[in-house]
Amino acid sequence: MPQDAFTLRLTAKELNAALTGGRINRINQPEREELSFIIYTGKRTVKLTLNANAADCGAYFTEDDRENPLVAPNFCMLLRKHLQGAQILGVEQVGFERILALRFLCVSDFSTAERVLYAEIMGKYSNLILTQNEIILGALKTTSADAGAKRLILPGAAYVLPAAQDKADPSDLAALGAVCAHAEGDLEHFLFTRVAGLAPCTARMLAQNYTGGDLARYVHDAVFSDEVSPCVLERDGKAVDFYARSVQGAIPFATLSAAQCYYYGKKRGEKQLENARRRLTSAVNAAIKKQEKRLGLILEKQKEAADCETVRIKGELITANLYALSRGMRACELPNYYDEKGGTLKIALDPTLTPAQNAQAYYKKYRKQKRTLEALAPQEKEVRAELDYLLSVQPYLTAAESIQDLSAAEEELVHAALINAPQARAKKKAPEIPFRTFEAGGFRIFAGRSNVQNDRLVRTSAPDDLWLHARGLHSCHVIVKSGGKQVPDDVLAAAAGICARYSAAKGDKIPVDVCPVRRVKKPSKSKPGFVTYSDFQTIMGDPARAPQEKA
């Protein structure tokens, strides 16, 4: 992201025009390294975000309504103490540094003071520092006096700018000219490494637009031009970067702040989506691993007890041949009248027991193994059903395209007691998460985002609506609202494409079963998403034929 001095100069100009004369109404700290200021400008109320996170650092207006912690962090409390109700005198860039200075006039019953909040937008070194008379009152990130830091950032210390880089300041035309006189090789690399305040993408833009002539004058004029055409570049639906000047194929925005708000909002959404997906997937995988371990133990015990019939036969053969056996024998080989070929069976004996006692020991072992097998059969069935259910959840997590999709899956995992329910601040019922909604040929099509939603979707559908599900695979349930009409083949193909897209299958030819909802039954006490159906036909689903989801 080009949060360089070039971009921040244009940001400062935009913020200064919008905020000068405004007053601070409220200060919050929604994230550990992010502050938000609610400001009344005299015409409207705006929300200014100052972010000092290494990946998201910036200063821009936002309209999001994120929750704030119940207890404000220390730096937030400090800002409230010193800046609450303060008037904004202006916003300016400090020299040609990646630093914004927000100046405030703070008036109380006992004093009047001018304070400056420095927003240092410098990647991993980003920070927010409040000063008065160039003395630090507090900072979001402080340094220890014992750490041998190059800059001392502590309350009471003098505010000192970061050490200057060994690069030419583009505002100094003479110094810039001396450096540009030795320009050679890759111009983009030269500008980035020798001229201060330029991100790689800014250096690339300057190099691409240079057509010859006085390089120093060109760089100076381009950097300090007030031309601005903000935009955000996206690739495959994901935000790549935002720019202060137009970029081919990018989405244009009215202001640089709006471009940053969109970009960071998109990045934050992507990050939240992946974090939530990782958290839920981890919970499901842990549950699968637990059930697989349980199944392994059951199968091992079944294997140990699998020869119970042989044990019974040994007990019967000993009983039938008591006259030929005696105490002290360690083994015997007796005719096996259960063997059609008339063979013999070698049987181990306990020499401390009588033949009758050895027979009873085999009968006892047989009864124990038989009880074990009888007890393990329903356990195995239960574990396999649980495993099948857990595997059915995975496609929903993989196919989730929004937080809303994962919220539906999270709701299901809470219902299945695989994760704890999130703590709600207010005791009010959360609204039901809507189904995925599509339209094809004038027919409405709905798809579940989770197994719980699949059940609700089937339950709330009319008997004549069409139900679709990938054959023999885990997939979402899809409903075509027929309204009593005949559903055309192209609509069925679109619905089958949706089913194929949100399934565990891969490829462009996925079998999908179709039947009326009245033929779909939910067995009592069955797992979420499990149904039985009859009188169906099978068609091929192609994910490429799935229509675009409606917002």
pLDDT by residue (tens digit) across 327-358?
999 999 999 988 888 899 999 999 999 999 99
Instruction: Report yes or no on 299 lying in a domain.
Output: yes
3-state DSSP assignment of residue 216: helix
**pLDDT at residue number 149:** 65
What average pLDDT score do residues 444-466 get? 93
Residue 363 has pLDDT above 50, yes or no: yes
Residue 507 has pLDDT above 90, yes or no: no
Q: Is residue 308 located within the same domain as residue 360?
A: yes
Average pLDDT, the chain: 90
Q: Is residue 135 located within the same domain as residue 88?
A: yes
Residue 150 has pLDDT above 80, yes or no: no
Q: Is residue 391 located within the same domain as residue 505?
A: no
Inter-residue contact 217 to 24 (CB < 8 Å): no
pLDDT digits (tens, 9 = 90+) for 200-243: 888 988 998 888 888 999 999 999 999 999 999 998 878 888 99
pLDDT digits (tens, 9 = 90+) for 54-106: 888 999 999 887 888 888 999 999 999 999 999 999 999 999 999 999 999 99
**pLDDT at residue number 126:** 93
Residue 253 has pLDDT above 70, yes or no: yes
Report the C-alpha gap between 547 and 497 in whole angstroms: 8
Instruction: Report yes or no on 196 lying in a domain.
Output: yes
Could you say which of 224, 258, 292 is where a domain stops? 258
3-state DSSP assignment of residue 104: strand
Question: Exposed, middle or buried by CB within 10 Å (0-12, 13-18, 19+), for 343?
Answer: exposed
Q: Is residue 194 located within the same domain as residue 94?
A: no
Task: Name the pLDDT band for 272 (thresholds 50, 70, 90).
Answer: confident
DSSP 4: S
Which residues, at least 6 apart from 166, have a Cβ–Cβ distance to it below 8 Å?
none
Residue 433 has pLDDT above 90, yes or no: no
Report the C-alpha gap between 324 and 343 in whole angstroms: 18
Task: Name the pLDDT band for 376 (thresholds 50, 70, 90).
Answer: very high
Residue 513 has pLDDT above 90, yes or no: yes
Q: How many domains does the chain have?
A: 4
**pLDDT at residue number 23:** 95
Residue 145 has pLDDT above 80, yes or no: no
- CA proximity to 457, closest of 430, 476, 470, 474: 476
Instruction: Supply 8's token pair.
Output: 């921040």
Q: Is residue 206 located within the same domain as residue 88?
A: no
Report the C-alpha gap between 64 and 53 in whole angstroms: 18
Q: Could you tell me the residue range of the domain that residue 31 belongs to?
A: 5-139
Task: Name the pLDDT band for 426 (thresholds 50, 70, 90).
Answer: very low
Residue 400 has pLDDT above 90, yes or no: no
In 384-505, which ranges are E strands? Answer: 436-440, 443-447, 466-470, 478-480
Q: Is residue 450 located within the same domain as residue 351?
A: no
User: Helices 215-223 and 200-209 meet at what angle, rounded to 10?
Assistant: 120
- CA proximity to 264, closest of 442, 102, 538, 62: 62
**pLDDT at residue number 427:** 45
Q: Is residue 253 located within the same domain as residue 360?
A: no
Task: Name the pLDDT band for 147 (thresholds 50, 70, 90).
Answer: low
What average pLDDT score do residues 271-280 get? 90
Q: Is residue 251 located within the same domain as residue 342?
A: no
Q: Is residue 60 located within the same domain as residue 123?
A: yes
Q: Is residue 118 located within the same domain as residue 227?
A: no
Compute the C-alpha angle 377/378/379, nearest 5°: 90
DSSP 479: E
pLDDT digits (tens, 9 = 90+) for 462-488: 999 999 999 988 899 999 999 989 999
3-state DSSP assignment of residue 131: strand
What average pLDDT score do residues 423-433 get? 58
Instruction: Report yes or no on 428 lying in a domain.
Output: no
Rounded to an integer, what is the distance from CA 75 to the centroid of its chain? 29
